Amino acid sequence: MTQLCPAVLVAAPASGQGKTTVAAALARLHTRAGRRVRAFKCGPDFLDPHWLALATGHPVHNVDLWMTGEDDARARLHAAALESDLIVVEGVMGLFDGEPSAADLALRFGLPVLAVIDASAMAGTFGAMAFGLRHFRPGLPWAGVLANRVASERHAQMLEEALGSGGSGGADGFLGAVMRDAAFTLPERHLGLTVAAELPDALARLDAAADALARTPLGRMDAAALVRWAVPFEAPTTPAAVPPLLKGKTIAVACDAAFCFIYPANLDALRSLGAELVFFSPLADQPLPACNAVWLPGGYPELHAATLAAGRACRDSLAAHVQAGRPVWAECGGMMPLFDQLTTLDGDEHAMWGLLPGRVAMQQRLAALGPQQLVLPEGSLRGHTFHYSRCESTLEPVRFTESARGNGEAVYQAGSLQASYFHAWFASSPEATASLFLAEGDA
């Protein structure tokens, strides 16, 4: 059955406009008011969901018409609508960037778009940008526009006047101005926002942002006002049963500050396949727990290269695991320490774990970005790539992922170890996912 629930998609004309801050502040504001809020992130992203999860107190899933698929997105949104007073979806890049874009998601599910515009260096142009965002795609559901990083009350007045509102809200729905304030700036580094858990004042930053938002018309919306954003979320079709291909298998998952790029949905997918999950920290030099297979997810090994290089227990137990023919799937940051050497951005060279021949070097420029697909005999896994390092190896790739431009990322294999820069969305193919964690001869 269809379920009504207020919902909004927080978008922007480009990256860096502050949409994560606004989305998290909006979610935090309503959570503090006692409302049940669920948040989602449009497109592939590991970092923004950390802030949205901190704001809501609930896991944050990704929704993307290609990577996760329309059926998966419909099921997750409908499930959230059944138990929520508000759904906040944060967009990706600019509103119309990518194929599919955040606008495509808004149109498909009827999500009203809240446009966040960094107005720090504009006045009258603010009106043109808001008008363009609203009318570029016919039929786009619209919630309104919020000016971000505003210099003063007079500046805010000029921005509102640029919409032709005359103080009445205007055709393009002026929902207020958030002043520039370092108290709620979310710090960034090369892959995006800093992980919320690494900042002792992360919640204080969100509360400061929520307090600032509370002083705007957007922030003053109560439960009755949110009804204007009510969206009818369709019930999903009954999904096909997931075969218990990993029943009886224990998968050890690396999880710490160096290996933190983990979709909660990927953990759910492994459990739905019947696997038991145990977690360990390579940063703490913990040896592998008893397990049948290992998953080394992405993260920031380059920020902890010296610590990872000095560890012996984790490295040696992982080598013994591979020597015994037990599977390892390593993706992006999880692959980097497996090579002989890792060179950080400042030029420091670290001897790493030596399970793959070759070296990895960080660089200033983005090396790869975009959707990818890994085609295996058991099925096709969808996902993406996003990294600032390059690897050189004498090992010939066993296959490549596919992208819209042709060949994508190399997949390396050394015995039972498989590794790639490719980040997989496990739910896109349970059968292909299971194959990554099954040894030869496993039923």
- 247: pLDDT strictly greater than 90: yes
**According to the model, what pLDDT value does residue 91 have?**
96
What residue has token string 């948040």? 39
Point out the residues that are catalytic.
Answer: 332
Mean pLDDT of the 341-361 span: 93
- Three-state DSSP string of 325-344: CCCEEEEHHHCHHHEEEEEC
Nearest of 7, 3, 392, 4 to residue 226 by alpha carbon: 7
Tell me the H-state helices in 302-417. Answer: 305-310, 313-323
- 272: pLDDT strictly greater than 50: yes
CATH 3.40.50.880 range(s) for the chain read 250-436
Q: How far apart are CA 351 and CA 252, in angstroms?
A: 24
Query: For residues 252 and 289, is the Cβ–Cβ distance under 8 A?
Result: yes
| Strands in 70-159 per DSSP E | 86-90, 113-118, 142-150
Residues 6 or more apart from 218 whose CB is under 8 A from it? 26, 114, 144, 146, 175, 176
**According to the model, what pLDDT value does residue 426 have?**
97
- List pLDDT tens digits, range 389-426: 999 999 999 999 998 776 789 999 999 999 999 999 99
CATH 3.40.50.300 range(s) for the chain read 3-233
Which CATH code is given to the segment(s) 3-233?
3.40.50.300
Residues 6 or more apart from 328 whose CB is under 8 A from it? 293, 294, 295, 296, 318, 321, 322, 416, 417, 418, 419
Q: How far apart are CA 118 and CA 180, in angstroms?
A: 10
- 196: pLDDT strictly greater than 60: no
- List pLDDT tens digits, range 61-75: 999 999 999 999 999
Which of the given ranges, 237-251, 321-335, 390-404, has the highest pLDDT on average? 321-335
- List pLDDT tens digits, range 373-399: 999 999 999 999 988 899 999 999 999
**According to the model, what pLDDT value does residue 183 have?**
63
β-pairing, 339-343 with 328-331? unpaired
pLDDT interval class at 186 (50, 70, 90) = low
Arithmetic mean of pLDDT over the chain? 91
Tokens of 100: 């599919």
- 1: pLDDT strictly greater than 70: yes
Tokens of 291: 């397990």
- The model's pTM: 0.92
- 171: pLDDT strictly greater than 60: no
How far is residue 15 from each of residues 135, 188, 298, 434, measured CA to CA in Å? Answer: 20, 12, 22, 35
What residue has token string 């490719």? 422
Give the dihedral sign, CA 425/429/430/431: negative
Fold of 250-436: Rossmann fold (3.40.50)
**According to the model, what pLDDT value does residue 242 have?**
86
**According to the model, what pLDDT value does residue 277 have?**
98
Residue type for position 276 = E
